[in-house]
Every structure is written in structure tokens, then in C-alpha cells.
């Protein structure tokens, strides 16, 4: 992927270069792995990097590291999106925040901190959801770096960037660099929408957690997490079923926390906290600062290489695009090529229907519940139809009309080989599956 730096006006920057001399060494000379056809060493690539606009999604554990690294790597025009506010529990690893910042928005606080420490860098924060922005907003960036703790949010931005690609406009393809951590494990990957495998292609590598049996939740919980799941799955449905649960709404999380706390006291269980409630409901894995630092460094290294072509990057034609890291038993990294899937519902050719094994004797209700746990689907609020009829729709009005189907068996509703069209309001994508009845 060649970067066009020849059109950059050398007079477009007036900032002193003293701080960036260490970077200039990389950009003013070739190296042993440099591609002479794409890398043009000298002043122009330095100026190009100065003016490059990059978006960081997430200002938490990974995001703080990413913002700091990008600012120190020569990126001068950075934007950041995060809707969360700072909690006391964040302070042990999200190093851009202090005790006095508790309650403030992460995006604004992180931006101000980095701008103060790294002069000449402009960071523009947005305190809200990524879904608040349209394609025109994302089109302005040359690179997008994700430091998210949510699979759903990753899938949304991935589908949005794939949908933006216009084969007649090369600038419409925005490289996505995604980092993620789970305890001592992490990964960094580079995605060129429509060209390489996307997050949806790789979804089965992020299998959802195993569900706690409902009988345990409803009768005798043994752990604080069971109390939170009871509030999440049972209490909300009984008391607030007319309100769609928004796991990013502080009022909703507070309600679940208070319900879980009351139940925990009833069974003499200690340990239920607001932050744990957030973690269980949003499926957030506890983060470790060193893992965040290593994965963020990898992400920013890839961003620098993509922006400048100073060295081959992950996802470079016919090269590895996925780096896995583990630090629980020594330090180990492994890179490989995750191949693009032709039947991917987001980037696949022709929106091919994926085969889906279905037990013909389960009810539609059981099938819908199973979609949330299937590694290849992970759909929590699906609306389902065939080419001819609606089986179940989540929309008000239509939900009541299609509700009787929930009790019917799958072999009474669909035939072997029939296609199911599934939508979920969390994703701007239609999922297509071909029913294969299991024996």
C-alpha cells in the first residue's frame, strides 16, 4: 500500500523538529527491509506524517497507551472517541488519569493530558458512542486504531469501514488497526477493509463466555457474578422488559448493580461492586497494565509503518496480518495470516449464505438463545426471517405478531437448505445463513 507523499507542500509545517530527531532517522534513510518502490525517504514523508489525521477509538487501558505512543511517534493530528467516565478502578493502569479526574470523561481528560506533555500535538476528543458518527466522519481519517473492550463495538466499526469502500476511490479504504487484551494475553491485527480478512472473518477466535445455568441464577447463587447475571437476565426481564437494556447507560448499570447487591446480601455473598457489574454485563476481561503497553506498542508500530512505508507492516501483501501475545508463562509472540473468508457476511464475495447446523427439534426461542453463544454468530437481539416470511422480529408491534413462533419447532418453520436472513440492531449488516438440520 503506497503512501502518496509527493503532493505534500514542504511549507505546510512550521513546527520545530528537535523533538522528532529520533523519528527522522527512520524517515530520512532506507533500512534492510525497506521497499524502495513505496518508501521515499526524506523531508516529504516527514511532512506527510505531520499532517496525517488518525482516529483512536477507546481511551481506556489500551487507549491511553495508544494515544501516548502515537503522539510520541510523530502523529500530530489525533482524534479520540470514548463515551465512558473515569472510575477509581481505572487509575491503576490508565495512567493518563489522576484521583482528581474521577467522574470526568476519559476522552477529554486523556486528550488534555497528552497535549500538555507532547507539545505540537493536537488531540480532538469526542465523548460519545462510535455509532453517533456517520460515514462522512470516518472518511476524514487516514488510519483508525481501536483499543476497545467490546466485541460488539469492534464488529460495528468493522462493518462500517467495509461498507465505506468504493472501488473507484482508493481513499475510501481506511486501514483498521485493532488491539485487544485479556489478562496476560493480547493481540494486534491489521485489517484493510475488503482486501484482507476482517473482524467478522475472525469472529470465531473470540468465542463468548460460557453461560451460567439459569437454575443456578434463579435458586442458589454461589458467586457475586451469579447475582449480577441474575439481575441482568432475570430481574431486568421481570421488572423492566419494556425497556431495552443499554450496557453503556450508567443508569441501567446502576439499577443492575443495586439489584445484584440486594440479592448478594440475601445469600451472604460479598464482592459485588459497580465495576464488577460493568465487567460482567459487558463481558469485560480484567486488564493488566503490562499487556496493554505491549499490545498498544505493537498497534502504534503498525500505524507508523503503514503511514510512512518505512518498513513492511502486518497485512502487507501476502504477509501475516495477526499477532498474538501471551505473557502468563514467559513472553511469547506469534504472527500468522488469518485468511479472508468467502462466506463472511461483512466482507465476503456476494454475501454468500453460511451453513448453520440447526437441531430441527428445538424451538425458535431456543434457537435464538443459542445464536448468542455460537462463536460464529454471537447475536444477542436477532430478528429472523426467511425469503418469504418473518419468523421473529424485535421491533415493537412486529414482536407481538411474531411472538407465537417462539414456541414452534424449527422444522415446522423452515426447511432443510432454506436461507435465514438475520439482523441485529447492534450491527449495520444483514447475516445470511443456510439451514443444515443436524441428524
Question: Which residues are catalytically annotated?
Answer: 215
Q: How far is CA 393 from the centre of its chain?
A: 26
Q: For the sheet containing 122-126, what is the strand order? A: 122-126, 77-81, 53-57, 143-146, 176-182, 185-191, 322-326, 332-336
C-alpha cell at 286: 480484567
Sign of CA dihedral 117, 123, 127, 128: negative
Question: Are 145 and 177 spatial neighbours (Cβ–Cβ below 8 Å)?
Answer: yes
CA–CA gap between residue 432 and residue 344 (Å, rounded): 9
What are the respective helix, strand and coil percentages of the chain, to the nearest 5? 40, 20, 45
C-alpha cell at 103: 467522574
Question: Are 125 and 117 spatial neighbours (Cβ–Cβ below 8 Å)?
Answer: no
Sign of CA dihedral 252, 106, 191, 134: positive
> Which is nearest to 333 in space by CA: 379, 301, 303, 364?
301
Residues 6+ apart with CB under 8 A from 324: 185, 186, 187, 333, 334, 335, 336
CA–CA gap between residue 50 and residue 77 (Å, rounded): 7
> H helices within 271-363, ranges in order?
274-281, 289-308
Amino acid at each position: 500500500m503506497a503512501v502518496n507523499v509527493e503532493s505534500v507542500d514542504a511549507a505546510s509545517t512550521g513546527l520545530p523538529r528537535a523533538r522528532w530527531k529520533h523519528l527522522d532517522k527512520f524517515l530520512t534513510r532506507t533500512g534492510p527491509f525497506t521497499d524502495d518502490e513505496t518508501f521515499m525517504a526524506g523531508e516529504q514523508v516527514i511532512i506527510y506524517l505531520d499532517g496525517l489525521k488518525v482516529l483512536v477509538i477507546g481511551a481506556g487501558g489500551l487507549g491511553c497507551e495508544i494515544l501516548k505512543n502515537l503522539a510520541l511517534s510523530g502523529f500530530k493530528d489525533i482524534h479520540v472517541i470514548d463515551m465512558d467516565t473515569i472510575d477509581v478502578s481505572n487509575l491503576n493502569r490508565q495512567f493518563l488519569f489522576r484521583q482528581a479526574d474521577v467522574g470526568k470523561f476519559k476522552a477529554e481528560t486523556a486528550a488534555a493530558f497528552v497535549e500538555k506533555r507532547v507539545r505540537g500535538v493536537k488531540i480532538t476528543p469526542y465523548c460519545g458512542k462510535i455509532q453517533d458518527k456517520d460515514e462522512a466522519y470516518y472518511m476524514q481519517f487516514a488510519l483508525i486504531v481501536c483499543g476497545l473492550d467490546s466485541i460488539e463495538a469492534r464488529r460495528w466499526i468493522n462493518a462500517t469501514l467495509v461498507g465505506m469502500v468504493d472501488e473507484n476511490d482508493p481513499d475510501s479504504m481506511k486501514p483498521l488497526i485493532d488491539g485487544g487484551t485479556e489478562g496476560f494475553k493480547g493481540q494486534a491485527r491489521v485489517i484493510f477493509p475488503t482486501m484482507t480478512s476482517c473482524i467478522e472473518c475472525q469472529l470465531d477466535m473470540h468465542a463468548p463466555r460460557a453461560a451460567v445455568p439459569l437454575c443456578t441464577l434463579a435458586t442458589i447463587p454461589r458467586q457475586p457474578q451469579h447475582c449480577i447475571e441474575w439481575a441482568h437476565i432475570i430481574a431486568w426481564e421481570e421488572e423492566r422488559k419494556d425497556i431495552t437494556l443499554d450496557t453503556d447507560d450508567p443508569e441501567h448499570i446502576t439499577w443492575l448493580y443495586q439489584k445484584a447487591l440486594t440479592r448478594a446480601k440475601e445469600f451472604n455473598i460479598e464482592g459485588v461492586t459497580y465495576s464488577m457489574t460493568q465487567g460482567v454485563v459487558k463481558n469485560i476481561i480484567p486488564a493488566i497494565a503490562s499487556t496493554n503497553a505491549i499490545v498498544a506498542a505493537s498497534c502504534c508500530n503498525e500505524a507508523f509503518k503503514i503511514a510512512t512505508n518505512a518498513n513492511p507492516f502486518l497485512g502487507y501483501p501476502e504477509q501475516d496480518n495477526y499477532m498474538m501475545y501471551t505473557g502468563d508463562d514467559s513472553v511469547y509472540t506469534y504472527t500468522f495470516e488469518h485468511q479472508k473468508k468467502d462466506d463472511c457476511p461483512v466482507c465476503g464475495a456476494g454475501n454468500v449464505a453460511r451453513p448453520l447446523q440447526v437441531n430441527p427439534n428445538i424451538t425458535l426461542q431456543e434457537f435464538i438463545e443459542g445464536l448468542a453463544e455460537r462463536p460464529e454468530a454471537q447475536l444477542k437481539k436477532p430478528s429472523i426471517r426467511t425469503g418469504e416470511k418473518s419468523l421473529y422480529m424485535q421491533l415493537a408491534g412486529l414482536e407481538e405478531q411474531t411472538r407465537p413462533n417462539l414456541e414452534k419447532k424449527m422444522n415446522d418453520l423452515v426447511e432443510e437448505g432454506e436461507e435465514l436472513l438475520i439482523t441485529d440492531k447492534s450491527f449495520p449488516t444483514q447475516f445470511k445463513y443456510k439451514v443444515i438440520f443436524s441428524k
